[in-house]
Amino acid sequence: MATTGEEPVRRWWARPAGLVEQTRRLFCLLVLLSAVLLLPATAHSGSGPASLGVGAAVLLLAVLWVHRYATRTATAAADVAEAALLGAAVALSSPPMLVFGFAFPALWFRAVYGSGRRVLAHCALVAAGVAGGLPLWSLVPGHEGPADVAAVLGCLPLAFVTSVGARHLATALFAREQGQRRDAVLSELGRHLLTVTDRKQIEDLGERAARDVSRITPGLASALVDATADGAVVRMAIGAWRRPLPAVLPDVLLPDRPPADGQPCTLSAASLDACAGRPGRWTAIPDATRAGSWLISGAPDRIAAEGVLAMRTAFTQVAQALVTSEAHRALREQARTDALTGLANRAAFTEALQRAASAPEAGFSVAFVDLDDFKLVNDARGHAAGDELLRTVAARLRAAVREGDVCARLGGDEFAVLLHGTDGASAGALAERFVTALAEPVALPGGSARVGASIGVAHRAPGEDAEQVVQHADVSMYAAKAAGKNQVRVFAA
């Protein structure tokens, strides 16, 4: 499937895996077999030079057909050459009707390459080549009487019928195989999204799936845009854009609010048609995870339009995964956050401390903060006032710590701060700032109140683990408590 960005290398003559390639291989073998089976009849129906000429034309046709199958392409030059060789075979064969034995299989083979217009153009070339060979038939030595022009020309309308019928079959094959490949991409996307909760990984999976769907569906063009008053601001363009999308699409005006029924919005924008190189059927669906963001997708025909639905499905899958990811993130944050103060809780602090201690040479300090006289305020003013006091203390600690440090409430009136990149002296100076900040009066219902803070600081010594640093900070905190209110003690080994 088209999700790895690479396909296994296969020999051109090996049995292909895809339905379309299997059909191309079958039609190639049939046209070659038809030419081989009719070659004796065409070779023995005329003189020696004519027989050699027919053989050479058929051989060149076989080379052309094999080349088409091997390269998976049908060029205009090859179509012209095929028509000329068929015309030569008509001029050299007796009767010329024999050439239709492999000309019609050749039309079926050509119908499974390129666009419908190119297939009809090829049929027209073949008809012109066959008709052009008829005037030369009577000039070839060994041919007696005029060629049966009416019979040959009467078969040419059947050539167009054959091409149209073969192209209809090819179109159905293309649609079926593209649908299977798109379904595989969506299935693989859903399977991966079940195991991923990281937002960046989800977005990367979505982008890869979108590019795969676009690669599978020729003509499909999509863009992520943000709706503004000046038009749609393009964030990302994917697929068959023949010209780069401008930064802003002024004629793409999207609604301020997504449709209540959740259905896609139909768009008609000249700027989209111009960048795609043809008129398209454009639709837009809102991004459920980002206000004002939309996915625009469009395609020029019915077959490619099936890719629009696949693109919308992938977009919806990613949006649902992002919503789930955000829910997971909120739950993780909730599990790591103190509900009262919004600081990190004991589990989050312990995790940060273990992470800091995992680097043997990392220098850090731990400050344990225990509030003085908190119980007096809590008992006298009530638990609501006590909770407000704790929230104010938490806010002051958060404002006093440096960016990158971790401030946590361990429980009750106990707080802790993990200070990165400090030594004992600098950690002690930061702790003094904490004492000053926490000594300020706190406005509470019924009047202001004051509390102090006893802080114990321990700096990690070489070879110490996290548990030892915590024990030293705890010892220092009790030493500060014993020395009186608003004190800082730094552990000294």
What number of other Cβ atoms are within 10 A of residue 236's Cβ? 12
493 pLDDT band, cuts 50/70/90, is low
DSSP 64-79: HHHHHHHHT---HHHH
What 3 state SS string does 125-175 have? HHHHHHHHHHHHHCCCCCCCCCCCHHHHHHHHHHHHHHHHHHHHHHHHHHH
Can you name the residues that pair with 323 across neighbouring β-strands? none
**Average of per-residue pLDDT across 140-163:** 86
Task: Tell me the per-residue pLDDT of 201-212, one tens digit each, with 9 for 90 and over.
Answer: 999 999 999 999
Tell me, yes or no, whether 361 and 485 share the same domain. yes
Angle at 281 between CA 275 and CA 282, to 5 degrees: 70
Classify residue 4: in a domain, yes or no: no
Which of 282, 300, 333 represents a domain boundary (last residue)?
333
Q: What is the pLDDT of residues 255-265, one digit of tens each?
A: 877 776 667 88
37 belongs to a structural domain: yes
Q: 403-417 pLDDT, tens per residue?
A: 889 999 999 999 999
CA 43 vs. chain centroid, Å, equals 57
Residues near 297 by beta carbon (within 8 Å), at least 6 away in sequence: 220, 221, 222, 282, 283, 284, 307, 308, 311, 312
- Could you tell me if residue 194 is inside a domain? no
Distance from C-alpha of 208 to C-alpha of 346, rounded to nearest angstrom:
40
| Average pLDDT of span 296-323 | 85
**d(C-alpha 306, C-alpha 293), whole Å:** 23
Are residues 327 and 359 located together in one domain of the fold?
no
Q: Is residue 239 domain-shared with residue 91, that is, in the same domain? A: no
Range of the domain at 120: 19-177
281 with 382, same domain? no
Q: Say whether both 172 and 246 belong to one domain.
A: no
Q: Model confidence at 492, in pLDDT bands (50, 70, 90)?
A: confident
**What is the per-residue pLDDT for 106?**
95
Please tell me whether residues 420 and 313 are part of one structural domain. Answer: no
pLDDT of residue 84: 95
Residue 66 inside a domain? The answer is: yes
The pLDDT of residue 4: 40
* Residue 183 domain-assigned (yes or no): no
Tokens (6 digits) for 478: 């009790």
pLDDT band at 18 (very low <50, low <70, confident <90, very high): confident
> Which pLDDT score, from 0 to 100, does residue 7 have?
46
Domain count, the chain: 3
In whole angstroms, what is the distance from residue 365 CA to residue 228 CA?
A: 49
- Alpha-carbon distance of 85 to 63, in angstroms, equals 12
Q: What does pLDDT average to over the chain?
A: 87
Mark whether 28 and 75 lie in a shared domain: yes
pLDDT in tens, 38-65: 878 766 655 678 888 888 999 999 999 9
| 350 and 466 belong to one structural domain | yes
Element (H, E) at 202: helix 199-216
- Beta partners for residue 224, in sequence order: 236, 295
248: helix, strand or coil: strand
- pTM beyond cutoff 0.85: no
Whether 240 and 381 share a structural domain: no
Do 47 and 69 share a domain, yes or no? yes
CA torsion sign, 93 to 94 to 100 to 102? negative
> Which of 333, 363, 381 delimits the end of a domain?
333
Q: How far is residue 44's CA from residue 46's CA, in Å, rounded to a whole number?
A: 6
> What is the pLDDT confidence band of residue 78, given thresholds at 50, 70 and 90?
very high
- What's the CA gap between 460 and 14, in Å, rounded? 67
Q: Which of 22-26, 45-49, 210-214, 445-449 has the lowest mean pLDDT?
A: 45-49
pLDDT of residue 218: 84
Domain boundary among 306, 333, 360: 333
| Per-residue model confidence (pLDDT) at position 19 | 82
Share of residues in the chain with pLDDT > 90 (%): 47
Q: What is the pLDDT of residues 315-365, one digit of tens each?
A: 999 999 998 888 888 888 888 899 899 999 999 999 999 999 988 888 899
b vs e for 22-31, b when ≥16 Cβ sit within 10 Å of the residue's Cβ?
ebbbebbeeb
Active-site position among 413, 423, 465, 474? 413
* Rg value, the chain, Cα: 39
- 3-class secondary structure, 255: coil
Query: In this structure, what CATH number is given to the domain that contains residue 364?
Result: 3.30.70.270
Helix locations, 285-419, DSSP H: 302-336, 346-357, 374-381, 383-400
* pLDDT: which is higher, 17 or 70: 70
Same domain for 327 and 222: yes
For this structure, is 413 an active site residue? Answer: yes
Residues forming beta bridges with residue 458, ordered by sequence position: 366
89 sits in the region (left: phi over 0; alpha: psi -120 to 50; else beta) called alpha
Residues 319 and 456 in one domain: no
What pLDDT digit, counting tens, does each position of 79-130 carry? 999 999 999 999 888 888 889 999 999 999 999 998 889 999 999 999 999 9
Q: What value, to the nearest 5°, has the Cα angle with vertex 370 and ends 347 and 437? A: 105
Query: What is the per-residue pLDDT for 137?
Result: 84
Q: Higher confidence at residue 290 or residue 454?
A: 454
At residue 479, does pLDDT exceed 90? yes
Q: Is residue 293 situated within a structural domain?
A: yes
Per-residue pLDDT reduced to its tens digit, 162-177:
999 999 988 888 888 8
Domain membership of residue 468 (yes or no) is: yes
**For residue 234, what is the DSSP state?**
E
483 domain residue, yes or no: yes
Domain containing residue 314: CATH number: 3.30.450
